[in-house]
């Protein structure tokens, strides 16, 4: 007959397999429902730069580098051509208005002056001789008038006598008529001579006026020629520093030739190069602040040059009020150029994180400061110190602003 076999008690192999399966399912469930499924990286917080985001006044400015230049540069041109005889001033000298820089010589100009003087003397003599002749003619006319007046008086007297005699039949009619005709002829001759004298006087006045105008023009021409001779001395047109002098002894300089330049040192301007990214924001009248020796100086844009070269354009800024002492042409200064009005904003300190994220996201520390997670943000304007944060972070939160190159694609940092 058959003998019943008793089942063995205890843990069997299938029981172990079932337990391991349940444990694996439990771990997977825990990972799925109780832990966040994000990539995490352990970092050394001591090697990271952490900054706090706070509310404050955002100053919309950029830092520009500018070089000091004179407020104006005067170009020296030769007003008269000639040969350089003497260099009175040298490059680098500070001159006063009217100081002689060069002495030139021009024989042709000297000859022209002599010819003008000779012509002026000739015209002057001719005018004097003409006036003397006219005075003599005036005396002659006066003498003729005197004779005519005397002749009228004499013939009138004879006419009056003959008129009485003819009334008493003491003379013939022919004799009376002859005396009457002589008297009227003398009167008419006097009137004609007076009319001639009047016309001659007008003609002489016009002639003298024309000659005097001609003489005046010659005097003016001689004055201008002599001024040309004065122009052979090249002088400083204004107070300033002679920075360029392109002339040597014996050199022939043409009229209008460029020979140098003078810097006006009464004031200075700062010429700055600005990235073309800001070309639409930079306009005439914008304010800038220049710091030197812990003191601020106000600048204002006077001119925006239109050309863009190598991705930059130039602006000229002038001082409003005081200037730094001992300024020199060519010095380099850094200025804060204000692009807009200050506004209250959320300020995010600048850092190298921007090179990796483009300002689209950043690592924000947890409240307990034990970790940091990736968070998307929105950035507006920026200046050399801060970004204007528009959304994504609340005031008081801390962020990592150092470079993110070593973080890879991890979305969570722990330390």
pLDDT at 108: 84
Task: Report which DSSP code applies to 339.
Answer: -
Each domain of the chain, given as residue ranges in start order, spans 37-59+343-414, 61-68+261-338, 78-103+235-258, 108-230
pLDDT at 347: 94
**Helix/strand/coil for 347:** strand
- Give the tens place of pLDDT for each residue, 197-228: 888 888 878 877 887 787 788 778 777 777 77
- Ramachandran bin of 149, using left for φ above 0, alpha for ψ from -120 to 50, beta for the remaining angles: alpha
Distance, CA of 236 to chain centre: 21
Q: Collect the ranges in the chain with pLDDT lower than 50.
A: 1, 32-35
Name residues whose C-beta falls within 8 Å of residue 43's C-beta, 6 or more positions apart in sequence: 406, 407, 413, 414, 415
Distance, CA of 38 to chain centre: 62
pLDDT at 107: 86
How far apart, in whole angstroms, are the C-alpha atoms of residue 352 and residue 326?
38
Considering only CA atoms, which of 258, 274, 368, 347 is closest in space to residue 313? 274
Q: Is the dihedral of CA 335, 340, 344, 345 positive or negative?
A: negative
Residue 327 β-bridge partners: none
How far apart, in whole angstroms, are the C-alpha atoms of residue 195 and residue 183?
19
CATH of domain 37-59+343-414: 2.40.420.20
Tokens representing residue 213 in the block? 């105008």
pLDDT at 34: 47
CATH of domain 61-68+261-338: 2.40.30.170
How far apart, in whole angstroms, are the C-alpha atoms of residue 264 and residue 73?
6
pLDDT at 300: 94
* pTM of the predicted model as reported, rounded to 2 decimal places: 0.54
pLDDT at 298: 93
């Amino acid at each position: 007959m058959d003998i019943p076999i008793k089942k063995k008690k205890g843990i069997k192999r299938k029981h172990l397999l079932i337990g391991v399966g349940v444990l694996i399912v439990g771990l997977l469930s825990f990972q799925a429902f109780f832990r966040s499924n994000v990539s995490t990286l352990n970092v050394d917080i001591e090697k990271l730069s952490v900054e706090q985001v706070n509310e404050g006044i955002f100053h919309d400015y950029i830092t520009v580098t500018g070089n000091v230049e004179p407020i104006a540069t005067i170009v020296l041109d030769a007003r008269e051509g000639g040969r350089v005889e003497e260099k009175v001033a040298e490059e680098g000298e500070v001159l006063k208005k009217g100081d002689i820089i060069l002495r030139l010589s021009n024989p042709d100009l000297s000859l022209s002056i002599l010819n003008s003087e000779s012509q002026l003397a000739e015209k002057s003599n001719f005018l004097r001789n003409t006036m003397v002749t006219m005075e003599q003619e005036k005396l002659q006319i006066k003498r003729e008038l005197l004779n005519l007046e005397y002749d009228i008086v004499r013939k009138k007297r004879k006419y009056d006598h003959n008129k009485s005699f003819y009334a008493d039949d003491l003379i013939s009619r022919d004799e009376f008529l002859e005396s009457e005709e002589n008297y009227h002829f003398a009167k008419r001759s006097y009137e004609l001579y007076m009319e001639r004298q009047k016309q001659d006087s007008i003609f002489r006045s016009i002639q003298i006026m024309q000659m005097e105008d001609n003489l005046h023009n010659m005097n003016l021409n001689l004055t201008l020629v002599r001024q040309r001779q004065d122009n052979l001395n090249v002088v400083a047109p204004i107070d300033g520093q002679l920075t360029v002098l392109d002339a040597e002894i014996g050199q022939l300089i043409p009229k209008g030739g460029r020979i140098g330049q003078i810097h006006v040192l009464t004031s200075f301007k700062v010429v700055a190069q600005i990235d073309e990214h800001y070309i639409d924001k930079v306009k005439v009248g914008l304010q800038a602040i220049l710091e030197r020796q812990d003191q601020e100086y106000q600048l204002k844009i006077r001119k925006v040059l239109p050309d863009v070269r190598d991705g930059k354009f130039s602006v000229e800024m002038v001082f409003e009020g005081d200037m730094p002492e001992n300024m020199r042409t060519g010095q380099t200064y850094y200025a804060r150029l204000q692009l807009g009005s200050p506004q209250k904003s959320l300020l995010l300190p600048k850092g190298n994180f921007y090179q990796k994220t483009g300002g689209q996201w950043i690592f924000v520390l947890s409240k307990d400061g034990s970790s940091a997670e990736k968070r998307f943000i929105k950035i507006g304007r920026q200046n050399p110190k801060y970004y204007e944060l528009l959304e994504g972070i609340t005031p008081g939160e801390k962020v990592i602003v150092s470079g993110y190159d070593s973080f890879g694609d991890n979305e969570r940092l722990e330390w």
